[in-house]
Chain A
């Protein structure tokens, strides 16, 4: 594995494409996170809320996106992680996780990050600042 500090400005982290979103993914996240809002798991509740189907927890997508950085957690850690929830994620959506190095400051790497669906739409986007251990 290469070091995250070998990246040049403009370089991207290796993309990760998730398997199509399944109901069991969201049931598992509901259980693990304690977020049992039923629009994430139960069809009837989603349609009552005016949705065409159940949608993923925004925090499920945000949790997934952070794994772009997991291989580097011995070199540093995620100091700042800021996300805007921009679109909904439905069952069977195929989500790709992306990160790009924008700036280097003293011991800090600033990335833009996004999760993008199969139509190329960003469902969440934001920024991560990775702090290096000295």
Chain B
């Protein structure tokens, strides 16, 4: 169904690691450490700035891949992998995009399952990778039928 989508990617979108968003996120995961939220603590730290929690890139806008829209409902998140070159700094700009790394289908106990492997990337303004995040999304037969309809 999505075989032809492998390799497609979105245009880069400029995001900012917003102080308020980092604080809200840290609160939501119960990790309100001063390295994330206390401005003075951040300045004194080795980063000379606050940083963002490793799963924060969830909040970024990665743009849209043309002709490829996954529904918000009915998907199963199978795996998630982050790889960092360094932590994200509060206040910095990050250029994000997403691409389809792979698509395959398997038939098992739950019927026909479709797997989409998506990779999001965050780059600095010079185009250097800061992090990548890979997710495997599983589409069940029921949801797939609705997509095709």
Contact = CB atoms under 8 A, between A and B. Distances in A.
B82 A29 contact: no
15 contacts: A25-B28, A29-B28, A31-B24, A33-B25, A33-B28, A37-B72, A59-B80, A66-B55, A73-B51, A74-B46, A77-B86, A80-B81, A81-B82, A83-B79, A133-B46
B3 interface: no
Contact of A63 (B21, B31, B51, B79): B31
Nearest to A128: B54
Contact of B31 (A25, A28, A37, A66): A66
Interface in A48-91: 49, 58-60, 62-64, 66-67, 70-71, 73-74, 77-85
Interface of A: 18, 25, 28-29, 31-39, 45, 49, 58-60, 62-64, 66-67, 70-71, 73-74, 77-85, 133
B128 interface: no
Contacts of A18: 30
A81 B81 contact: yes
Give the size range of B's interface with the partner.
20 to 34
Given A32-B27, A37-B73, A63-B31, A83 B46 contact: no
